[in-house]
A and B are shown apart, each in its own frame.
Chain A
């Protein structure tokens, strides 16, 4: 299976700090790749660079065979890459429906329409005129994901969807993921909470201080390995 997204030797700097150092990964259609790591490990920076908000200082990003390293973020949406940013980031002065419609701004053709979204989250129908700022955390996350889906992406990136969410709404969000990937969507999922990532991801990568420290399928990794990679304990081979 040819990969949807390939990241090669990516290095991203924030001023003098190297937030991402020489990261290599790939995502194929219909799979969930989980990226785990502690705060400040570079996970968000990685996603935002793939989305086009940061310029890498080295390395490149290839999407569907096309080198998109220099492509501006709005054109990446047209190409099929959509990021659901950390903290949901709904548009505060817009209501639920308008937030969703913004997702359609640069939408590609595809299965996701307003009706399908309302089918996925029926509560949105009655509350479509409500200001987005009045929603609960779980509801905002649902709107944020739907907004991204309405653009009909081929690669959906989720930056810490579990952040600030209570267990029940979180469960509902994660329940949606299998349906998404079954239609061929590739998902890049960043999580601080390892359990959630392990439950849905086909493969995980671990980042520490911008570098990859561990990779593999959840079934193949044991707790000690992950802990060591996550926290950087007992680093052998000097990474």
Chain B
């Protein structure tokens, strides 16, 4: 029966992974950039929250109202000032620059906050759980995180599908030149995509900080999980990313039934298997004309 519980926990965990993944998916789909510092940005969001919570007297569960917009603006600026430069410079430069950014960010956090882990104290209000049956329980926090992921994904989906800017972002992802011919200022729209990516990953980081504790070097694991979710779900589909996240989550919890290390390893093995045999993922959507 613990297997069923592990399945349930894994599905809930999928929401968290999907939150990490959707920003990666957006930046990769629109501008062909994998931000290797993606996970570290999430961790930085937690540290910013740790600083802001006492200063602003906002309870931890609401701190995202401050942190997420800061990161959205920061993401836009970083894209236009740094990442665009490396995009203009060459194909492999961007990977190297975002890797450098990851190292700088991690060591900066290490210098400022030491290597001790941090978490966001959300109080006892949300630390209980539903009891569904003898062996299956659903923690309130996991449900909230999954809910937040669904809200974020839906909002992103609506933005992309219905809004004028979102539609042009999708057009840009399909064909940058023709989008320019239709009046797209691609540098600005890349900035918008990056801003959205940083905003969602900041939210993911805050969720992670409430769920467990983070330290300056926690970031890369979640970059890898996020990318894995994108690949497994298939590039171009936000809901595929959620499915990918859930596959990873289940692999993580089922693996942990064997032992904790295997719980960390199994998602990676699933990812490598998908890369080897079905690299386009489960629900690939990118179509070329």
A–B touching in complex (CB under 8 Å): yes
Task: Tell me whether A83 and B167 are in contact in the complex, defined as CB-CB below 8 angstroms, given that A91-B175, A133-B289 are known contacts.
Answer: no
Judge whether A73 and B174 touch: CB under 8 Å.
no
Chain B contact surface mostly: helix
Judge whether B287 and A151 touch: CB under 8 Å.
no
B180 in contact (CB, < 8 A)? yes
Contacts of B179 in A (CB 8 A): 91, 102
Judge whether A91 and B174 touch: CB under 8 Å.
yes
CA–CA, A151 to B182, complex, Å? 8
Option from A72, A85, A104 in Cβ contact (under 8 Å) with B178:
A85
CA–CA, A94 to B174, complex, Å? 9
Contacts of A77 in B (CB 8 A): 181-183
6 residue pairs from A and B, CB less than 8 Å apart: A91-B171, A93-B285, A105-B167, A105-B182, A105-B183, A106-B184
Contacts of A51 in B (CB 8 A): 181
Which residues of chain B (160-195) have a CB below 8 Å from chain A? 164, 167-168, 170-171, 173-175, 177-186
CA–CA, A89 to B174, complex, Å? 10
CA–CA, A129 to B173, complex, Å? 20
Contacts of A90 in B (CB 8 A): 289
A103 in contact (CB, < 8 A)? yes
A64 in contact (CB, < 8 A)? no
**B51 CB, min distance to chain A CBs, angstroms:** 39
Judge whether B181 and A73 touch: CB under 8 Å.
yes
B236 in contact (CB, < 8 A)? yes
Task: Tell me whether A101 and B164 are in contact in the complex, defined as CB-CB below 8 angstroms, given that A73-B181, A151-B183 are known contacts.
Answer: yes
Q: Which residue of A lies closest to B289 (CB)?
A: A92
B278 in contact (CB, < 8 A)? no
Contacts of A92 in B (CB 8 A): 174-175, 287-289
Task: Tell me whether A53 and B167 are in contact in the complex, defined as CB-CB below 8 angstroms, given that A92-B287, A93-B287, A133-B287 are known contacts.
Answer: no
**B284 CB, min distance to chain A CBs, angstroms:** 11
CA–CA, A79 to B97, complex, Å? 37
Please, what's the 1-or-0 string for A149-193, where 1 marks a CB less than 8 Å from any CB in chain B? 001000000000000000000000000000000000000000000
Q: Which residue of A lies closest to B164 (CB)?
A: A105
Task: Tell me whether A103 and B236 are in contact in the complex, defined as CB-CB below 8 angstroms, given that A53-B177, A94-B174, A133-B289 are known contacts.
Answer: no
Please, what's the 1-or-0 string for A22-42, where 1 marks a CB less than 8 Å from any CB in chain B? 000000000000000000000
CA–CA, A53 to B185, complex, Å? 12
Judge whether A89 and B178 touch: CB under 8 Å.
yes
Judge whether A74 and B184 touch: CB under 8 Å.
yes
Which residues of chain B (249-286) have a CB below 8 Å from chain A? 285-286
Judge whether B289 and A91 touch: CB under 8 Å.
yes
Judge whether A82 and B185 touch: CB under 8 Å.
no
CA–CA, A74 to B177, complex, Å? 10
Q: Which residue of A lies closest to B165 (CB)?
A: A105
Please, what's the 1-or-0 string for A59-102, where 1 marks a CB less than 8 Å from any CB in chain B? 00000000000001110011000110100111111100010011
CA–CA, A177 to B178, complex, Å? 22
Task: Tell me whether A93 and B168 are in contact in the complex, defined as CB-CB below 8 angstroms, given that A74-B185, A82-B181 are known contacts.
Answer: no
New A-B contacts (14) at CB < 8 Å, excluding given A91-B175, A93-B285, A93-B286: A53-B177, A74-B180, A74-B184, A77-B182, A89-B177, A91-B179, A92-B288, A93-B173, A98-B167, A101-B164, A102-B167, A102-B179, A103-B182, A105-B184
